Structure 1
């Protein structure tokens, strides 16, 4: 366990729980968890922060995926096809993550948030209901390439916002409603987290004791979030997404220029 004060440890565990809830509902829990880890581990190498983040997130994401699979109409076979590509993409991104500067993370995360928020805000009907028409083979292949390899690579390289990007991509490409897209994204996200974590673990870039403690709270938050999303539907998911994006843009902007 790294040298962290009791107060900071409590903050990190609370952030892990909140991130698990956010990740299960709309994806993007790393947008909260990664800044918290950067704050709590100011002297750690960025790759170690990213690796520890993955070790925490994979537990919560798996719990959320299991919860969704019990009730949401997920095409598990398709989800695992996308997830297989995501494993390769995330492992490749993680292999390059050691060259990322900590100073570059915050503006990158802010750019991600602004794009996601603008897209959802100006498309109020986006993901409110699934399409009745069948999805073409070309769209399935595009989902495997974009949501699998592309977003998987981003997840291994940087990470925050991956779940949200997956939800948006799967909703747009496969014509899913937001709840089904969130459920499908969780399965894919388990694969991206596992692929990236394997590479970080191989490089010795994971603080396992800290990750194990935070993972307990992340799992609890994620299972509560998945149950709430299933119960309240797509309108709730969209509202949470916009609220989270807005709050984090303000927070990161203040830290960058305040």
Structure 2
């Protein structure tokens, strides 16, 4: 474990718990956890921060996936097909991550977040209820290519917001309500996290002891978040999505231009 103060460790653990909760409800927990790691471990190479973030996230996401699959019906076969494509994309993305400069992360994430926010705000009925009838093969293939390979590559390369992008992509392409999209996303996100983590572990970039401590808090947050999303429904998920995205855009803008 790197030499960090108890205060920094406590704040990283709180960020991990919050990230686990957010990730389980609507995705995007990395937008809390990754900036916290970047601030808490300022002198480490970006690849080590990204790798440790993945090692923590896979635990909370896995717990949320188990909670969802036990309590709601999802098309597990389709989710796993998308997940395999996402794992391969994530593995490829992680192989390029060592060359990413942390200075480019904030503006890039802001652009993506604003795109997500505009989509959600201007589509108030989005994800309120699933479409009637079975999903066509064409839509499943599109989900595998776009939500799987494409977003999977992004997850391995950068990561923050992957869950949120998956929720929106799966709800739009497969015509799922937001709760079902969140449940399916967790299965896919476990695959992307494992793909990226395998590459980072091979590169020796994971801070395993720090990740293990933070993972306990991420796990707890993920289990609580999944239960709340299932209990309160799509309206709750959409509200959390908007609040999370707005808060993060404001925070990143402040860090970029006013800090």
> Fold match, TM over 0.5?
yes
The alpha-carbon deviation at position 133 of structure 1 amounts to 2.6
Residue segments in structure 1 that go unaligned for 5+ positions in a row: none
Deviations 1:54-89 (A, max 9, x none): 000000000000000011111111100000101100
Could you tell me how far apart the structure 2 residues matched to 1:116 and 1:222 are? 22
Q: Distance in 1 between matches of 2:167 and 2:73?
A: 15
| Cα deviation digits, residues 21-58 of structure 1 (max 9, x gap) | 00000000001000000001101110110000000000
Query: Which secondary structure does the structure 2 equivalent of 1:70 belong to?
Result: helix
Q: Which residue of 2 aligns with 1:238?
A: 238
Q: How many corresponding residue pairs? A: 258
User: Which residue in 2 is equivalent to 1:144?
Assistant: 144
1:1-258 matches, cutoff 5 A: 1-258=1-258
For residues 141 and 248 of structure 2, the distance between their equivalents in structure 1, rounded to whole angstroms, comes to 33
Shift of 1:129: 0.2
CA distance, structure 1, for counterparts of residue 136 and residue 69 of structure 2: 24
For normalisation by structure 2, the TM-score amounts to 0.99
In 1, the alpha carbon distance for the partners of 2:91 and 2:249 equals: 28
Moved over 3 A (4+): none
1:87-134 deviation digits (Å, cap 9, x = unpaired) = 100000000001100101111111121111111011110000000032
CA–CA distance in structure 2, aligned partners of residues 73 and 206 of structure 1: 34
User: What is the alpha-carbon distance in structure 1 between the residues aligned to residue 44 and residue 132 of structure 2?
Assistant: 49
CA distance in 1, matches of 2:217, 2:136: 40
Q: How far, CA to CA, are the matches of 2:141 and 2:197 in structure 1?
A: 26
TM normalised by structure 1 equals: 0.99
Q: Distance in 2 between matches of 1:164 and 1:251?
A: 17
| CA positional deviation for 1:2 | 0.4
Tell me how far apart the structure 1 counterparts of residues 13 and 112 of structure 2 sit (CA, whole Å): 24
Find the aligned partners of 2:250 and 2:85 in 1 and give their Cα distance: 34
